Chain A
Amino acid sequence: MTATQDSHDEVPAPERAPVLEAGPGPGEDAYSASDEEEIAARLEALGYLE
């Protein structure tokens, strides 16, 4: 087995690699609690979240 193959084998499989997710980190929310209520109400009015 070559060095290159050894290195390649050490790359974590996609399932085990950290998954890059969009979304807020701690304390990064753009919305206040009342904002979230307002958004939820708007989405529910259009049939989402039901």
Chain B
Amino acid sequence: MRRLGRERGAQRRRVFVLGLDGTPHSWLRTETAAGRLPNLAALFRSSSVVPMRSSLPSVSSTAWTTFLTGRDPGGHGLFGFMDCRPASHELYFPNLQHVTVPTIWDALGARGKRSVLLNVPGTYPARPIPGVLVSGFVAPSLDRSVHPPRLLARLKAMGYRIDLDNWAARGGFEALETDLFTTFERRAEAIRMLLAEEPWDLFVTVLTETDRLYHFLWNTMAAGDERAVDLFHRFHARVDELAGWLFDTLPDGTELIALSDHGFAAERTDVFTNAWLRERGYLAFDTSEPKGLAAISPASTVYSLDPGRFYVNRSGRRPRGSVPPERAGEVVERLVRDLADLRDPATGELAYGRLLRREDAYHGPFAPAGPDVVLTLRPGYELKGSSAARSVFGPPGDGLGGMHAADDAFLCVRGATLRDGPYDLHDLAPTILELLGVEPEGLQGRSVLAPAAVGATVGAVEVGR
């Protein structure tokens, strides 16, 4: 039995968030039920644990930006790892400089509260914040990833790594295994250092090593390969040990949240959405071997970006756009009808999960820049936006064997009773602000805490089985 922080009188309110990138709710349940991960299992027994929906699309940069801002991509403007530059079909990599709405550290900083963020995807380049920011994926180097700069030398001295060498990890089991543990141990060392030395009201750290293991070995593990299963068990045992250490070490009065940004599933088939658009006559290129959307033919009416984002090629928006605004609606309706036929010819299965129109998926000032249609991922079918692919369906790339799942993220809030679901990533910022006694302003999400439970004594709660 425990009480939520706002009833703790003089104790300092704090929130610690442990992110396990890509760890599925369903898989965690299976593992804890099997007696593995004892520390996480103990946490779950005193927590509300529920499945949570990822962002649209369910990629880490979009998902964690949604977490940090309390807004869906229409509210914060990041729709994927890559996007078209404004007024162009050239691609660029969105980053923290392009997030112009307030983040949770801004809201807390305005109330004199300090945040520490370590390895949250989508937070490069680091900028001065009220606290500490060590950027996560896809930061290309550590040098511009650290605020305050005094911490850079410390992190370098401990051999801190932002990420695995993913090409080496994709190429071989041993390289993956070695890099996985090395990167994790150095991350854990950085967590311990920052906890010991930095004051904080909010501490957020994300372990992205989980996502890497899943990208390369989920299929193999799910097929029962003994070596892969063993590596999954050994690596998650280390994650569980770190979690246990954290639970024992965090100051009294700390509220604890654990979560993932999306789930994972076996990847059987790659689906190349631009190849499908070419087959259907929506998309053409001015060259036989396009290297990207910059070579799009002005006759094209729709193009796509991964995973599952479809854009009407509007005139007036980009130089090679061709669809007048008044015709965009009919193009969308035709596209929606045709996408009902995007099925695996081998099984007849629909090659995606849900189809959402822009107005149903995105809300906020950036929504008009979002995809006209977005598809969620169906387990087994990875949606790819390659411009070069000529076949709609193909096997996963060499060394890949795992894909994101949209609706199987997990959320765990210790000692809390939650309101009725569904639960979304953009609900986390208002939840954290509530736990820290800060009134959320202008956020799209809403706190997951049940109003009657806030400040009340609650018992062990487990839901979502």
Contacts and interface: CB of A to CB of B under 8 A. Distances in A.
Nearest to A34: B140
Contacts of A38: 140-141
B138 A22 contact: no
A30 interface: yes
Contact of B328 (A15, A21, A23): A15
Contact of B99 (A17, A22, A42): A22
A20 interface: yes
Given A35-B141, A39-B140, A23 B86 contact: yes
Contacts of B92: 23-24, 29
Contacts of B328: 15
A27 interface: no
Given A46-B215, A47-B382, A47-B397, A23 B85 contact: yes
A15 B325 CA distance: 6
A30 B317 CA distance: 23
Contact of A41 (B78, B167, B306, B369): B167
Interface string B264-295: 00000010000000000000000000000000
B75 to A, nearest CB: 11
A43 B170 contact: no
B381 interface: no
B400 interface: yes
B166 interface: yes
A19 interface: yes
A24 B94 CA distance: 8
B384 interface: yes
Interface residues of A, number: 31
B94 A47 contact: no
Contacts of B86: 21, 23-25
B125 interface: yes
Contacts of A50: 270, 384, 386, 397
B85 A42 contact: no
B397 A30 contact: no
Contact of A28 (B59, B83, B97, B170): B97
Contacts of B138: 39, 42-43
B163 A42 contact: yes
A49 interface: yes
Q: Which secondary structure dominates chain A's binding surface? A: loop
Nearest to A28: B97
Contacts of B386: 49-50
A31 B138 CA distance: 11
Contacts of A36: 93
Contacts of A21: 77, 86, 366, 369
B324 to A, nearest CB: 9
Contact of A20 (B215, B306, B317, B365): B365
A38 to B, nearest CB: 4
A32 to B, nearest CB: 8
A4 B386 CA distance: 49
Contacts of B317: 19
Nearest to B125: A30
B137 interface: yes
Contacts of A15: 314, 325-326, 328
Which of A19, A23, A25, A30 neighbours the largest number of chain B CB atoms within 10 Å of its CB?
A23
Contacts of A23: 77, 83, 85-86, 92, 94, 98
Given A19-B368, A30-B124, A45 B140 contact: no
Given A29-B92, A47-B215, A47-B382, A20 B369 contact: yes
Interface of A: 13-17, 19-25, 28-31, 34-36, 38-43, 45-50
**Top-3 shortest CB links A-B:** A22-B77, A45-B166, A15-B325
30 contacts: A13-B325, A15-B314, A15-B328, A17-B368, A19-B368, A19-B369, A22-B99, A23-B83, A23-B94, A23-B98, A24-B97, A24-B98, A30-B125, A30-B144, A35-B140, A39-B93, A39-B140, A40-B93, A42-B138, A43-B138, A46-B166, A46-B170, A46-B212, A46-B400, A47-B215, A47-B384, A47-B403, A49-B82, A49-B386, A50-B397
Given A46-B170, A48-B59, A50-B386, 14 more contacts: A15-B326, A19-B317, A21-B86, A23-B85, A23-B94, A24-B85, A35-B141, A45-B167, A46-B166, A46-B215, A46-B400, A48-B306, A49-B306, A50-B397
